[in-house]
Amino acid sequence: MDIVKNAKSSYGRQYRDKLCSPEEAASIVKSGDALCFPISVGEPTLFVRALAARKHELEGVIVNQQHHLCPDYFTKDSAPHIRVNAWFTSHVSREAVQNGWADFIPNYFHEVPRLLREFWPIDVAGTVVSPMDEHGYFTCSLSVAYTMEAVKKAKKVVVQVNSQAPRTHGNCHIHISEIDHIIECNEPLEELTISPISTIEEAIGGYIAELVEDGSCLQLGWGGIPNSVCKALLHKKDLGIHTELLSDGMVDLILAGAVNNSRKQTHLGKTVATFALGTRRLYEFMNENPTIEMHPVDYVNYPHNIGKNDKVVSINATLEVDLLGQCCSESFGHLQWSGTGGQADFARGANISNGGKGFITTASTAKNDTISRIVPTLKPGASVTTGKNDVDYVVTEFGVAKLRGQTARQRALNLINIAHPDFRGELTEAARRMNRI
């Protein structure tokens, strides 16, 4: 494969001088080194696999990363050799974090680049990039987030040039002069399976869509509820997008004409995101699309930047919410499940926004209606992802509870009204015992 066939000869020579195998790139890692890889689909999997294959040759290597793909060193026997500092756990890293084989770093997503600057050394940074252009630039493609900061700080930079990675616009370019080693790759990019929308998700999406005005600026996470919301918004007009995650549902909104970004106060006419995860259709839509801009997370998720747009609508999911409105969206008691991500960033940004609305969503129950997601108090050890002062609306399949600006009594009553009917009685009694109602 000749990824640089259109490059100017000077850059082409630099490219070929830096070209190497995954094993050669992995050989630069030494015991005690600190590494940094991008979030999810930006992970350079060929490099990571080659590194994992030689883990027993190494001691005390630390990997900093948010949301992981390759499982090869998330095992008990790997910890002395390659240990991970997880900024957000995925299905790959969850067991390792819960068992103490990996560490977890609490963080607001928008602060990760600053935390990298101030607290963590980076000897080697690795990332997936799109093919080089005639000016010697690659793009961070689908995963910008904290990648640019890691590349800037690292002593050595390894890029995995994937011919299938879309070339993206925005503040996401890396020049060949910043790169030490290049791996070529033609593997299909990681895709996110889109599951059918359940009746509960459809109901929640419908409630939210009724409250979304024309001209709103959207942020959505991933999963059935965001997909349901996107489907329910297809008839809206002049919507904008300023989001951490760009997904397939947003492509549907753009193609339907519901999103045109014509009423945004920043990046007028542009869809803004910091990473993307979805299907090949999404990736192909993003390739060389001048209406989509990818920017670092300390810009995209900074609450005051979010709030510069009017009518920001933030939609994120939670695992448990108590009668005061505290939301635990990342743990089951003390067991870490995911991370704060950008939920708190966008909840605050929506509150700053003129006419903004923040929605926290959850099914009313779990485990076949045996557990209520609305509870008197959070479980012992639970992480408060979005605090009571930042929560605006909570939505279940039974309706919408307005919390912002409400008294503790009103909050409890509003939340009980959207709880599953089987649990409303015991929630009412618990609220009385706590003198909430």
Residues 334 and 385 in one domain: yes
- With respect to residue 379, please indicate whether it lies within any of the assigned structural domains: yes
- With respect to residue 192, please indicate whether it lies within any of the assigned structural domains: no
User: How far is residue 17's CA from residue 179's CA, in Å, rounded to a whole number?
Assistant: 11
As given in the structure block, the two tokens for residue 433 are 């015992």
How confident is the model at residue 243, as a pLDDT?
98
Residues 367 and 428 in one domain: yes
Residues 139 and 253 in one domain: no
Using DSSP's 3-state secondary structure scheme, residue 346 falls into: helix
Residue partners of 77: CB distance under 8 A and separation at least 6: none
Residues 137 and 265 in one domain: no
What burial letters (b/e) apply to 120-135, b meaning 16+ CB within 10 Å? bebbbbbbbbbbbbee
Element of type H or E holding 91: none
Residues 95 and 173 in one domain: yes
Q: Which of these three, 185, 209, 244, is where a domain ends?
A: 185
Q: Are the CB atoms for 244 and 342 separated by under 8 Å?
A: yes
Nearest to 313 by CA among 236, 374, 384: 236
Taking the model in full, what pTM does it have? 0.95
How confident is the model at residue 193, as a pLDDT?
83
As given in the structure block, the two tokens for residue 241 are 């997008």
How confident is the model at residue 221, as a pLDDT?
81
Secondary structure (DSSP) of 158-189: EEEEETTSPP-EES-EEEGGG-SEEEEE-PPP
User: How far is residue 49's CA from residue 337's CA, in Å, rounded to a whole number?
Assistant: 24
Amino acid at 153: K
How confident is the model at residue 8, as a pLDDT?
53
Residue 244 designated active-site: yes
Total H helices, total E strands in the chain: 15, 27
- With respect to residue 117, please indicate whether it lies within any of the assigned structural domains: yes
Residues 273 and 144 in one domain: no
Note down the domain range covering 330: 199-434
Q: Which of these three, 185, 218, 250, is where a domain ends?
A: 185
- With respect to residue 191, please indicate whether it lies within any of the assigned structural domains: no
Q: Are the CB atoms for 86 and 117 separated by under 8 Å?
A: no
**Residue 88: CATH number of its domain:** 3.40.1080.10
- With respect to residue 389, please indicate whether it lies within any of the assigned structural domains: yes
How confident is the model at residue 238, as a pLDDT?
98
- With respect to residue 412, please indicate whether it lies within any of the assigned structural domains: yes
Residue partners of 266: CB distance under 8 A and separation at least 6: 242, 272, 305, 308, 309
**Residue 297: CATH number of its domain:** 3.40.1080.20
pLDDT tens, N- to C-terminus, the chain (437 residues): 445 545 556 899 999 999 999 999 999 999 999 999 999 999 999 999 999 999 999 999 999 999 999 999 999 999 999 999 999 998 999 999 999 999 999 999 999 999 999 999 999 999 999 999 999 999 999 999 999 999 999 999 999 999 999 999 999 999 999 999 999 999 999 998 888 999 999 999 999 999 999 999 999 987 888 899 999 999 999 999 999 999 999 999 999 999 999 999 999 999 999 999 999 999 999 999 999 999 999 999 999 999 999 999 999 999 999 999 999 999 999 999 999 999 999 999 999 999 999 999 999 999 999 999 999 999 999 999 999 999 999 999 999 999 999 999 999 999 999 999 999 999 999 999 999 99
Residues 148 and 204 in one domain: no
In 4-146, which ranges are continuous DSSP H helix?
Answer: 9-18, 22-26, 45-53, 94-99, 112-119
Q: How many CA atoms lie within 13 A of 14 on its CB side?
A: 16
Residue partners of 169: CB distance under 8 A and separation at least 6: 139, 288, 289, 290, 292, 293, 294
How confident is the model at residue 275, as a pLDDT?
97
Residues 385 and 327 in one domain: yes
Residues 248 and 146 in one domain: no
Residue partners of 340: CB distance under 8 A and separation at least 6: 88, 106, 107, 108, 109, 329, 330, 383, 385
User: How far is residue 61's CA from residue 291's CA, in Å, rounded to a whole number?
Assistant: 40
Domain count, the chain: 2
- Which one from 149, 244, 293, 320 is the annotated catalytic residue? 244
Residues 245 and 220 in one domain: yes
